[in-house]
Amino acid sequence: MLRFDVHSPVEEIRLPLYTEKNVRVFVKRDDLIHPYISGNKWRKLKYTLNQAIQQDRTLLVTFGGAWSNHLLATACAGAKFGFKTFAFVRGEEVDNPVLKLCKLFGMQLKFTDRQRYKEKETLFEEYFAKDSNAYFIDEGGYGPHGMMGCSEVIDELNEYYEHIFCACGTGTTAAGLLHGINKNRLTSIVHAVPVLKGGSFIGEEIAKLLPNGQENLQLHTAYHCGGYAKTTPSLISFVKDFTQQTGVLLEPTYTGKLVFALHDLLAKDQIPSGSKILILHTGGLTGLLGMLDRF
Catalytic residue numbers?
Answer: 68
Specify the DSSP class assigned to residue 224. Answer: S
Under DSSP, the state recorded for 158 is S
Element (H, E) at 43: helix 40-54
Whether the CA torsion 10, 71, 219, 233 is positive or negative: it is positive
CA angle 27, 30, 225 (to 5 degrees): 70
C-alpha closest to that of 193 among 169, 171, 220, 155: 220
C-alpha distances in angstroms, 65 versus 38, 91, 111, 163, 228?
17, 7, 9, 31, 11
Using DSSP's 3-state secondary structure scheme, residue 16 falls into helix
CB of 141 closer than 8 Å to CB of 48: yes
Residue 208 and residue 236 in contact, taking contact as beta carbons nearer than 8 Å = no
DSSP three-state, residue 164? strand
Strand arrangement of the beta sheet that strand 108-112 belongs to: 108-112, 84-90, 59-64, 134-136
